[in-house]
A and B are shown apart, each in its own frame.
Chain A
């Protein structure tokens, strides 16, 4: 259902004309600026306590300070980025590996089911202090927590994609006498590719969350540390600027996931589908000619 709806809505977006979209964008920006101005005015007039809710201009200045003047954010950003990405890689590896094993073997699927339910119900991020105790204060404990927190989305999505294939397509594969592996590669893997990226997106956000929480618990570098330091000295501008950086970066990663999704699931877009099938047709004829 959701796949269908996302396909429709992108079609609906494409049907908007260029000028219409520009106008919509302008209205959005206008509203945003009005809100920000109100906030700024409210803050200057003393209706909003700037100590708790910093004014937009202060945050902008702080971003300038952090990125251009001091440049202190890059180091912390780099640390958190490495932690989250290593955690994401590890988590996706574990999640997809487990899902593949569970999809291939009914028995394995049955035996891990109770453990999966328990893991799902546990607030996994709560293992943070334990990981710190086991793996120390450095990089590895953050990577481990990020991996633990983020593996679930890719796992469930891959498993769902691998198992919930179209009945009729499966019947066709069976009537063509395809082997188990042919069904797996030709039907199940492409089917799971359609929702793999959605799982990755969930993973991105939770990997960052895991890395940040591990840093909150104990670290001396990283965005989480920067943020808690800023709030402890009540430099709210700094805390907001840090938070916005994380949001912006996660947003970038979401966009990257969208692009990968577009090319990976090429059959969803007519243009890519045609290009791909033309290429395959040419290759097929070439192989015929060679033979």
Chain B
């Protein structure tokens, strides 16, 4: 319990909640599914319909808020007719993913060293705090100056923005292991390796994966901001070009594409969550334990 955790747990408490689905209970939604879905769709259609109607009656200024139909036309154009967006989409996705992996690597290895050595933990804590309070995207101009205008500066920026969440979540997860469980392991004379792999690591996993989720969004943000600052390809630059040309429909279509990328990342993380953290869901838990029982009986 050194000072680093005292400062940063507060952030972790929020970051971990931010990353998981906001506290809107899934249990409440489980039943009455179809009717709910229909209502959701209905509300969505009403909103979009009202917006479109306003466009039909010339109440909208195309320079400010074009009608949904115009945005859809632009979206289809970007993706399927001129196919302009594919390359930009790919570039940004590559930058964000590369930044994510590097950032997670750095963050987790720092966290593990900090867990292993309390001295290291004590000495990096003020730097970690300073790093935590600095908005990572503020470093963009420096990163561009260091790494140039190409892809590497965007990857570096994505790394910089995203490494903190895996770092702090891994650290917190590994440090706070349930005391009763620890005692049980000790009374069973578990060795250090068993203790780490069977207890410490699995109990930290939910937090670690929550950190990954934040990191992936962070990496995307870092890549896009670095592209705003200076780039010639990437979805951020497409966004900037379209909005500076006051092609707002195109710009919103690009924004929707960005949301899609974010959702893609988000669902990948959900899949990871589902596969790895099987003990969090009863049905998965039963499935896995049945499988293990069968394997054991063999």
Contact = CB atoms under 8 A, between A and B. Distances in A.
Interface stretch (A182-190, A227-235, A280-288): A227-235
Nearest to B139: A243
Contacts of A128: 228
Contacts of A28: 123, 126
B294 interface: no
B13 A109 contact: no
A63 interface: no
A19 interface: no
A24 interface: yes
B24 A224 contact: no
Given A1-B176, A123-B217, A250 B17 contact: no
B145 A250 contact: no
B22 A116 contact: yes
B108 to A, nearest CB: 19
Interface string A127-149: 11110111000000000000000
Interface residues of A, number: 79
Given A9-B3, A228-B229, A246-B135, A121 B263 contact: yes
A153 interface: yes
Nearest to B6: A9
A224 B145 CA distance: 15
A126 B258 contact: yes
Contacts of B134: 205, 243, 246-247, 250
Given A121-B266, A157-B14, A126 B236 contact: yes
B152 interface: no
Interface string A227-269: 1101110101001100100110011001000000000000000
Contact of B5 (A9, A114, A205, A230): A9
Interface stretch (A40-48, A66-74, A171-179, A210-218): A210-218
Contacts, number: 218
A133 B244 contact: yes
A94 interface: no
Nearest to B15: A202
A247 B13 CA distance: 22
Contact of A205 (B23, B36, B135, B142): B135
A231 B145 CA distance: 7
A289 interface: no
A2 interface: yes
Interface residues of B, number: 73
Given A130-B252, A239-B142, A209 B266 contact: no
A160 B5 contact: no
A6 B224 contact: no
B251 interface: yes
A20 interface: no
Question: Dominant SS at the A interface?
Answer: helix
B21 A2 contact: no
A290 interface: no
Contacts of A247: 130, 133-134
A118 B263 contact: yes
A54 B15 CA distance: 33
Contact of A5 (B176, B229, B242, B248): B176
B63 to A, nearest CB: 8
B133 A205 contact: yes
A118 B13 contact: no
Given A126-B239, A198-B11, A110 B28 contact: yes
Most B CB atoms within 10 A — which of A28, A109, A122, A236?
Answer: A122
Interface string B116-159: 00000011001001101111111111101110000000000000
B229 A216 contact: yes
Nearest to A208: B135
A195 B166 CA distance: 21
B81 interface: no
Interface string B156-198: 0000000000000000100010000000000000000000000
Given A24-B122, A111-B39, 16 more contacts: A28-B123, A52-B146, A116-B24, A123-B224, A125-B225, A126-B258, A128-B228, A129-B242, A130-B243, A132-B243, A156-B22, A159-B22, A163-B25, A208-B135, A212-B138, A213-B140
Interface of B: 1-3, 5-6, 9-18, 21-25, 28-29, 36, 39-40, 43, 63-64, 122-123, 126, 129-130, 132-142, 144-146, 172, 176, 217, 220-221, 224-225, 228-229, 236, 239-240, 242-244, 246, 248, 251-252, 255, 258-259, 262-263, 265-266
The 8 closest A-B pairs by CB, nearest first: A209-B135, A121-B262, A2-B13, A9-B6, A129-B243, A231-B141, A250-B133, A198-B10
14 contacts: A6-B10, A110-B40, A113-B29, A117-B22, A118-B263, A126-B255, A129-B228, A130-B255, A156-B23, A195-B14, A205-B134, A213-B137, A217-B240, A246-B135
